[in-house]
């Protein structure tokens, strides 16, 4: 009886250790999968958002953003209503969009995630439209448009298995000289 009890105890402790390791591996796998998906959604979504604001591109942002956010994003609404300085005064041909994921957290079993990202656009290729030179000079706009670098708190939600940006909140405006 003594040996049977030792055998069961030995097998039980090894099985418990194996289950703990498998549980940690599964949690790490799902955390990594969510982190990768969220990074891609943020990177591509924010680049498309900047493209719509600056170039007036007729891109659908619904794969990246929730519909409720798109209805209240002030910069996107201005761009769609023709009130964007980038579209009115400049002919933008391209830009260098950079996103850095500063922090991120999402439990594998939750459908919401929080991230802190910094968006920078250090270079914008474009020039003032010839038809808008006088208006741009009157508005005090220079030859090279600048994009304000911002750190955002991002709230994401998983809907039907896909992540969407549900809210962007400005955490800090970054002044770069």
Residues (pLDDT < 70) of the chain are 143-144, 177
Contact of 104 with 113, CB cutoff 8 Å: yes
For the chain, which domains are there? 35-174 (3.10.450)
Q: Burial, 65: exposed, middle or buried (Cβ in 10 Å; 0-12, 13-18, 19+)?
A: buried
* Nearest by Cα to 123 from 147, 99, 101: 147
Closest CA to 163 of 49, 47, 62: 62
Residue of 141, 34, 45 lying closest to 87 (CA atoms): 141
Q: Whose structure tokens read 């220079």?
A: 142
Three-state SS for 147?
coil
pLDDT confidence of residue 177: 60
Beta bridge partners of 115: 104, 154
Contact between 129 and 89 under an 8 Å Cβ cutoff? The reply is yes
Which residue in this structure is represented by tokens 């030792």? 6
The answer to whether the beta carbons of residues 124 and 133 sit under 8 Å apart is: no
Half-sphere exposure of 30 (CA within 13 A, CB side): 12
């Amino acid at each position: 009886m003594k040996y049977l009890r030792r055998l069961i105890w030995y097998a039980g402790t090894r099985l418990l250790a194996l289950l703990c390791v498998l549980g940690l591996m599964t949690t790490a796998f799902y955390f990594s999968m969510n982190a990768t998906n969220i990074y891609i959604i943020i990177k591509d979504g924010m680049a498309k958002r900047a493209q719509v604001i600056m170039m007036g591109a007729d891109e659908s942002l619904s794969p990246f953003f929730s519909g409720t956010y798109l209805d209240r994003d002030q910069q996107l609404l201005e761009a769609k209503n023709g009130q964007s300085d980038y579209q009115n005064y400049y002919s933008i041909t391209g830009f260098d969009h950079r996103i850095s994921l500063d922090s991120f957290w999402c439990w594998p079993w939750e459908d919401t995630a929080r991230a802190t990202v910094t968006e920078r656009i250090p270079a914008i290729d474009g020039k003032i439209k010839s038809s808008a030179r006088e208006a741009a000079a009157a508005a005090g706009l220079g030859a090279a448009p600048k994009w304000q670098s911002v750190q955002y708190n991002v709230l994401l939600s998983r809907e039907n298995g896909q992540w969407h940006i549900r809210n962007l909140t400005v955490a800090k405006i970054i002044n770069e000289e």
